[in-house]
């Protein structure tokens, strides 16, 4: 199985290579993030990782200037007493840490760290995660993974996607062999990125982010080919306006019910970057039109 997954990480033919800024809230040396970074690079994308020096889960949209680092980074991934606010892997300089929050990492990545790699150009897409654990419903408002994506979409007008995986358990970047869950999440997340890129610019409506929750990697869901994508919503829609009409209804399923099913279903919610709730129907409609071939209906 692991060899099949690794083969699937090879570049996808016909996919346009773009500039991607990548952050998370679990730390720059977290394995889920590194596996995803590797998958994006394998797909041909020019990806720069800028993430916190240590785990900063649950810090929402906090943003503060990075301070000099005196202790070792997460998993001893940088030495103690660097006395620097930011740093990088010298042998792989597209891997960068920022001694602050996820939003700060995304901000520094977009404004300072990534442009030199791209001749001063801006990122074309921002991704965050995959988070270790879910980010559904009320979790969305506290998630640093989501916060980083929302910052990119709202403050820098970069289309953004936040990924989270329900299989939990933090792991160091150099864990060998990499567990199936990390490799599967990397491939499935990369597949969604390629679908968004293939849909053409503008990749997403303005002030919108996609909130993605990947189900647990277990049983039949250890095969990435069994994963299917379902258009969903973040918050309960009891008093909300109608959603886009899809799968015979104008009320999309809650992302929590999708991702927690036993059918290898990935929830894809169109989020409003202004308040981290579900985006209005007209913006859902644009995303559905662009990604219609990707989506399936609930069983």
Mean pLDDT of the region 128-156: 97
What are the domain boundaries of the chain?
2-294
Run of H or E residues at 287: helix 281-291
DSSP character string of 7-20: HHTSPPTTPPP-EE
Q: Are 253 and 232 in contact (CB under 8 A)?
A: yes
- The pLDDT tens digits of the residues spanning 57-104 come to 999 999 999 999 999 999 999 999 999 999 999 999 999 999 999 999
As a CATH number, domain 2-294 is 3.40.1210.10
Percent of the chain with pLDDT over 90: 92
Give yes or no for residue 246 having a pLDDT over 90: yes
Report pLDDT digits (tens) over 100-139.
999 999 999 999 999 999 999 999 999 999 999 999 999 9
- Residue 15: its pLDDT value, please? 65
Predicted structure pTM score: 0.95
CA atoms 47, 53, 55, 60: torsion sign: negative
């Amino acid at each position: 199985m692991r060899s099949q997954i690794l083969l699937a990480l090879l570049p996808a033919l016909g996919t346009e290579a773009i500039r991607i800024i990548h952050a998370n809230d679990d730390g720059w040396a977290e394995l889920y993030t590194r596996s995803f970074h590797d998958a994006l690079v394998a797909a041909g994308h020019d990806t720069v990782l800028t993430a916190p020096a240590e785990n900063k889960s649950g810090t929402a949209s906090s943003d503060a200037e990075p301070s000099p680092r005196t202790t070792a980074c997460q998993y001893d991934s940088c030495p103690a007493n660097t006395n620097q606010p930011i740093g990088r892997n010298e042998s792989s300089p597209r891997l960068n840490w920022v001694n602050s929050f996820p939003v700060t990492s995304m901000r520094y990545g977009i404004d300072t760290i990534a442009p030199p790699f791209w001749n001063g150009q801006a990122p074309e897409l921002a991704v965050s995660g995959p988070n270790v654990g879910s980010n559904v419903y009320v979790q969305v408002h506290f998630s640093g993974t989501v916060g980083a994506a929302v910052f990119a979409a709202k403050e820098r007008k970069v289309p953004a996607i936040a990924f989270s995986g329900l299989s939990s358990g933090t792991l160091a970047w150099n864990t060998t062999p990499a567990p199936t869950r990390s490799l599967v999440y990397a491939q499935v997340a990369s597949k969604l990125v390629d679908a968004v890129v293939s849909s053409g610019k503008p990749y997403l409506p303005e002030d919108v982010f996609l909130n993605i929750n990947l189900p647990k990697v277990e049983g039949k869901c250890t095969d990435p080919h069994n994963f299917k994508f379902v258009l969903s919503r973040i918050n309960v829609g009891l008093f909300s306006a109608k959603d886009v009409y899809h799968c015979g209804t104008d009320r999309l399923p809650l992302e929590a019910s999708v991702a927690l099913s036993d059918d290898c279903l990935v929830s894809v919610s169109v989020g409003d970057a202004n308040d981290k709730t579900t985006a209005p129907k007209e913006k859902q409609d644009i995303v559905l039109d662009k990604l219609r071939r990707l989506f399936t209906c609930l069983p």
